[in-house]
Amino acid sequence: MKIVLKNEIDHFLKNFEGPCISVYMPTYRSGAETLQNPVKLKNLLKDAEKQLADFDLNEEARHKLLKPARNLIDDYDFWQHQYDGLALFISKGDFRHYHLPYRVNELVVVANDYHLKPLMPLYTRDDQFFLLSLDQQDVSLYEGNRYSIRRKPVPELPESLADALQYDDFERLLNFHVAGPGGGAKQHSAVFHGQGGEKDQRRDQLLRFFRTINKALHDYLREEKRPLVLSGVDYYFPIYQEANSYPHLLKKGIKRMSDKITDKELHAKAWEIVAPHFREAQNRAAEHYRKLAMGNNGSESRKTADQFEDVIPAAFQGRVDTLFVLRDHQQWGAFDQKTLEIETDARNRTDRKDLLDFAALHTLQHDGHVFLVSGEQMPEESPLAAILRY
């Protein structure tokens, strides 16, 4: 699965030579049901060819446009590496696909722009985070969202504690026991062997190493605002907190006594920590919207907007700081980028687009925040609402 970040957003905002074909379908990962996957794609591409009749393309041009996607139908290896959904994007000179970690409904849209609403959970930033795993033999940074995590190569990031400290006997450096009251081993408070200066020396060595990690991450995460979750032995946490300069490191981390943990397990534990964080951030943003909306009161300098004719031009111009978008809702329309006028009922026009897609993409392109929410979470009785920068 490819987590869609700003470079992907920039790609989708290019002016493609239409028509643009967007295909979504649920997929099966294993078992006999996987045989249905290529059949579904074949049928959806037939639907796409019918919709292409609305555009000025002859049969040969339509066949050429759909050929890269049709080549996948008989690609056995391709169908052996599926997630829960598949998205394909096709236009002249452009073909790409994404394996999605969640199910989507079957959908084909042919228009002058790509239809991206089912892809939105991947490119909104209200569920994306980083995870730093500190194992004795493996130091790794992960990028994740609610569906999965993947490792990210970071220049200058040490690969392990042992390598960075250049200790011949690494086990002796980290020789500790977990002591509880009465000598028990149930309490998770680490005690280093050794007395006085030796204990302090070992702690200082870890602190220097964590500062080396922090320096590498500082350059890599310089422009980031996503939360960072720490994973490792519990006595690492206060030492790393001392070395850390990334302002979005969460206080709560994944405490474990063993290096043996799968990426799937890491993701599950990390999501338990960050999910409440994201809900709180969304709730704070919604409350901030409501306070600003109450202060509008007909003022010429409005701070919020919830009408398409106000939000769409503002998003296009980079004036939206925070956007709330109703999940699983489409609003077909047309937008004139020169006059900034919109038409909210353009289902039968070839230049139609989902205006919610348009607003979300342009908000993200200009480093705004987008929250994909349910109806009860919307701060207004509208499918979109925005906090404006000016």
The CATH code of the domain that includes 10 is 3.30.960.10
Domain count, the chain: 3
Say yes or no: 148 and 252 in one domain.
yes
Q: Is 132 helix (H, G, I), strand (E, B) or coil?
A: strand
Are 136 and 66 found together in one domain? no
What are the tens digits of pLDDT across the range 183-194?
444 444 444 444
Do 309 and 229 lie in one domain? The reply is: no
pLDDT along the chain (390 residues), means of 10: 56 80 91 87 95 88 94 91 91 91 89 84 79 87 89 87 55 47 44 56 85 92 92 92 96 84 92 93 94 74 90 97 91 90 73 86 89 92 95
With respect to residue 362, please indicate whether it lies within any of the assigned structural domains.
yes
CA atoms of 371 and 380, how far apart (whole Å): 13
Tens-place pLDDT, residues 201-252? 778 888 988 999 999 999 899 888 899 999 998 889 999 999 999 999 999 9
Quick check: is 28 in a domain? Answer: yes
In whole angstroms, give the CA distance from residue 352 to residue 42.
25
Strands 129-134 and 107-111, how do they pair?
unpaired
Does residue 290 fall inside a structural domain?
no
pTM comes to: 0.70
pLDDT digits (tens, 9 = 90+) for 123-154: 776 788 999 999 777 899 999 888 888 899 99
Show the domain range for 321. Answer: 298-388
Whole-number Å distance between alpha carbons of 19 and 183: 72
Q: Are residues 102 and 187 in the same domain?
A: no
Separation of alpha carbons 254 and 259, rounded Å: 12
How many Å separate Cα 75 from the centre of its chain? Answer: 28
Structural domain includes residue 284: no
The SS3 assignment for 118 reads helix
Residue that is last in its domain, among 119, 147, 164: 119
